[in-house]
Amino acid sequence: MLYSRIVETYTEIEATTKRLEITRLLVELIDATPRSIIDKVVYLTQGKLYPDFLGIELGVAEKLLFRALAKVTGQTEEKIMAGYKKLGDLGTVAESLLKDKTQASFHREALTVEEVYNVFDTIAHEAGKGSIDSKLRHLTGLLGKASPTEARYITRMALGRLRLGVADMTILDALAISIGGGKESRPVLERAYNRSSDLGHVAKTLATGGIEAIESFKVTVGRPIRPMLAERLSDARAILVKMNGECAAEYKYDGLRVQAHVSTKEVTLFSRRLENITDQFPDVRQLLKKNIEEEAVILEGEAVPVDPSTGELLPFQLISQRRGRKYDLEKTIGEIPVAFFPFDLLYADTIDLTDRPYLERRERLRKLIRKNEKINLSQQKICNGPEALDEFMEQAVADGCEGLMIKSIGPDSTYKAGARGWTWIKYKREYKSEMQDSVDLAVVGAFAGRGRRGGAYGALLLAAYDKSDDVFRTVCKCGSGFTDEDLNKLPKLLEKYGISHPHARVDSKVVPDVWFVPGLVLEIVGAEVTLSPIHTCGMNRIRPGAGLAIRFPRFTGKYREDKSAEDCTTTDEVVKMYRAQLKKIAANPLAEAA
Ligand code: AMP
């Protein structure tokens, strides 16, 4: 097939904004394309050579194109650069320079689609020593054979800026009409696309196997599945109505969504946007390699940063620091390890599970994972009343999560790849607010450290003072903000307060490794005050059965040795802080919406 045939369609597409017209032009192009290269034509039209998830980019720098065009047209690089500055599109510059050279008068060997694709493919795989010269040679060769209009698109393509504006869905429409037997086949084609994220592959499957091959299209390990998305509600009753009275509630972890493709040969990790992120998470890769009991599996889960000394979940931002860091990745992994919480299973035992109901997928997932402290199924509870949902929500927030993911357990609970729907609903707290002030809290217990903090305390159990009952009620477990010096110092500082049982004036549902008489006071900052099923501060004051906790507490470095335990922040003050947060949100709901 001649490259000029594709370019003809590109020029016409550029001249219109009407989707129907673009579809018609694409149908004509597909009709004219030999089946054997349909995938290549689809990729080229999308301005790429492969599906995005392979991460293979052409990677030609502007400078190199200046050089190639200078060689082909006999103009100086400066003149080409000046033209580029003026027009803002190097493709147009290349076209007009080639026109000036009256290229048409030369004998020209016509470019084929295969040749253009193959040269680009060679350029994309070129790396290391001598690769720049080689890329230059290839580009010059290609542009030397190109007509002015072809040069426009070759130049744009090389820069990764083809930008025809053809949507994936328009290509699917055109495939349906041209090969699929009509527009009615569009939904099955879309289904195949959602299961492979690869339009070229879908086109090739259709072209070679017909619509039957598309109808029986299965997911494959190595090709990411477009993620299922959730709707959002903030009222437990409304959620239950949508779920027909009963649902599965899962912790909504505040981390990074990962789709893992695990085979005996390799583990590949994809982000929610389907980029290959395997290199950024060698620890997650290792976890999956070691703890999965099957040969070929596709699963989804959330990777969440954890405090290595306490195992507590940390804010999501800490994980995002990994992205883009190549050189000190190892150090970052040591300092901020992640835990992985699988929540769905899409393929296992050679079966495409996306059409199976949620409870079946979940049960298979449970059997598949060898759990340990770094990898465990998302926490889940079947709920059939708003109270149960709210109670589980408080527990989730107390455990460092941002809310719940509510999932249908009915017959409609298949995995809807690439779609947002009411069978998954996000249930987040309605507010999120920065804590205005620091608090001073009494140390009433401690937890033994793990890993790097072995032998020291990993976290402290902290309490506020309830003046009216003369009791200390717990409000958080804090393991952040301590320097190595603090960690060395704390056992000595606390030694004199140690006792073998909870102190009579300490009200705690949490059981630490060591108890203390309230004496030492520390200054703490946190993200916000939240309702909590496990802490006793302000118990029953806001809601029956719930206390208050400080989320993401961090030691400021200040030992309040000037304060006695009874001078620390009171439970009344914490209740006030919680109410002040709510008021702030009521005053400015948009700014504070979570
Ligand atoms: P959002 O990013 O706010 O639209 O919420 C959806 C995201 O929540 C998903 O893309 C996942 O990354 C994340 N998530 C956390 N826990 C779960 C879970 N148990 N089930 C599904 N998604 C979860």
Q: What are the φ/ψ torsions at residue 441 (nearest 5 degrees)?
A: -125, 150
Note the Cα 83 to chain centre separation in Å: 41
Atom of ligand 1 nearest to the CA of 424: 21
Nearest Cα residue to atom 3 of ligand 1:
426
Atom of ligand 1 nearest to the CA of 272: 10
Residue of 85, 88, 112, 108 lying closest to 98 (CA atoms): 108
Residue of 535, 520, 526 lying closest to 555 (CA atoms): 526
Nearest Cα residue to atom 12 of ligand 1:
257
Atom of ligand 1 nearest to the CA of 227: 10
Task: Specify the DSSP class assigned to residue 404.
Answer: E
Nearest Cα residue to atom 10 of ligand 1:
257
Residue of 327, 400, 440 lying closest to 549 (CA atoms): 400
State the Cα–Cα distance between residues 46 and 48, nearest whole angstrom: 6
> Which pLDDT does position 131 carry in this prediction?
92
How close is the Cα of 521 to the center of ligand 1, in Å? 38
Residue of 516, 518, 524, 512 lying closest to 559 (CA atoms): 524
How close is the Cα of 251 to the center of ligand 1, in Å? 9
326 catalytic per annotation:
no
* pTM of the complete model: 0.78
Atom of ligand 1 nearest to the CA of 252: 16
Nearest Cα residue to atom 16 of ligand 1:
252
What is the CB < 6 Å shell around ligand 1?
230, 250-253, 257, 272, 302, 343, 378, 405, 426
Alpha helices in 315-467 (DSSP H): 317-320, 329-335, 358-368, 386-398
Atom of ligand 1 nearest to the CA of 257: 12
How close is the Cα of 197 to the center of ligand 1, in Å? 20
**Residue type, position 394, single letter:** E
How close is the Cα of 585 to the center of ligand 1, in Å? 24
Q: Is 538 left (phi over 0), alpha (psi -120 to 50) or beta?
A: left
Active-site hit among 252, 407, 426, 477: 252
How close is the Cα of 574 to the center of ligand 1, in Å? 30
What number of other Cβ atoms are within 10 A of residue 424's Cβ? 23
Name the token pair of 184: 């009615």
Alpha helices in 74-167 (DSSP H): 77-87, 90-100, 113-125, 131-145, 148-158
How close is the Cα of 584 to the center of ligand 1, in Å? 27
Atom of ligand 1 nearest to the CA of 256: 12
Note the Cα 293 to chain centre separation in Å: 25
Residue with tokens 């995938």: 39
> Which pLDDT does position 588 carry in this prediction?
58
Sequence-distant (6+) residues with CB within 8 A of 353 are 345, 346, 347, 360, 361, 364, 415
How close is the Cα of 588 to the center of ligand 1, in Å? 26
Tell me the sheet residues that pair with 267: 262
Domains and CATH numbers, the chain: 3-159 (1.10.3260.10), 229-432 (3.30.470.30), 435-589 (2.40.50.140)
State the Cα–Cα distance between residues 527 and 101, nearest whole angstrom: 66
Nearest Cα residue to atom 23 of ligand 1:
252
Beta strands in 253-337 (DSSP E): 256-263, 267-270, 296-305
How close is the Cα of 53 to the center of ligand 1, in Å? 21
Name the token pair of 434: 């920065």
Nearest Cα residue to atom 9 of ligand 1:
257
Sequence-distant (6+) residues with CB within 8 A of 498 are 514, 515, 516
How close is the Cα of 335 to the center of ligand 1, in Å? 25
Rounded-to-5 percentages of helix, strand, coil across the chain: 40, 20, 35
> Which pLDDT does position 374 carry in this prediction?
93
State the Cα–Cα distance between residues 121 and 420, nearest whole angstrom: 35
* pLDDT tens track for 340-357: 999 999 999 899 999 999
State the Cα–Cα distance between residues 303 and 69, nearest whole angstrom: 47
What number of other Cβ atoms are within 10 A of residue 537's Cβ? 31
Dmax (CA) for the chain in angstroms is 100
Q: Which helix (H) or strand (E) holds 531?
A: strand 528-532
Are 509 and 535 in contact by the 8 Å Cβ rule? The answer is yes
State the Cα–Cα distance between residues 207 and 39, nearest whole angstrom: 9
For helices 19-31 and 38-45, what crossing angle results, to 10°?
150
> Which pLDDT does position 372 carry in this prediction?
92
State the Cα–Cα distance between residues 553 and 476, nearest whole angstrom: 7
Q: Name the residue of 257, 300, 377 whose CB sits within 8 Å of the most ligand 1 atoms, as the mutation to test its pocket.
A: 257
State the Cα–Cα distance between residues 238 and 245, nearest whole angstrom: 10
- Per residue in 358-375, is it b (16+ CB within 10 Å) or e — as a string? beebbebbeebbeeeebb
Radius of gyration of the chain (CA): 30
Atom of ligand 1 nearest to the CA of 378: 19
DSSP labels, 207-262: HHHHHHHHHT----TTSPPPPPEEEE---HHHHHHHTTT-EEEEEE-SSEEEEEEE
Q: Which portions of the chain are predicted below pLDDT 70?
A: 102-107, 321, 323-327, 429-434, 436, 585-594
